[in-house]
Structure 1
Amino acid sequence: MTVHNSVIDSYRATEGYFECRSCGSRTVSEEHLASCPSCDGSVRNIAVARE
């Protein structure tokens, strides 16, 4: 059986995964977020670097 990486990991470089430091809400966005859309708190990019 052959499993392709795209099936296992759907991460695309065009998307950023952001997590709010205040409320813990997670958001996927094609643009860098300056603040959380839910509570306006600060966010961090939690996307994992790929090789």
Structure 2
Amino acid sequence: MVLNNADIDPHRNEHGYYECLSCGTRTTSDDPLGRCVDCGGEVRNIGVARE
């Protein structure tokens, strides 16, 4: 079996990695997060490269 780029995406994460902009809590989630699980503050996905 020959694999190509359409079969494997090496940059795809199995989980989202999130950091709260208010309290700094970091967590993972299979579903997109909109708010921090600890304080309810806004979160950002840190599993995505920032250029």
TM-score range, shorter chain: 0.5 to 0.7
What TM-score results when the alignment is normalised by the length of structure 2? 0.67
1:4-19 paired onto structure 2 within 5 Å: 13-19=13-19
Count of aligned residue pairs for this structure pair:
39
Gaps of 5+ in 2: 1-11
Gaps of 5+ in 1: 1-11
CA RMSD of aligned residues (A): 1.8
- The structure that has the greater radius of gyration is 2
Q: Write the distance in 2 (CA, Å) between the matches of 1:40 and 1:25.
A: 11
Name 1:40's counterpart in structure 2. 40
Q: Indicate the percent of aligned positions where both proteins have the same amino acid.
A: 55
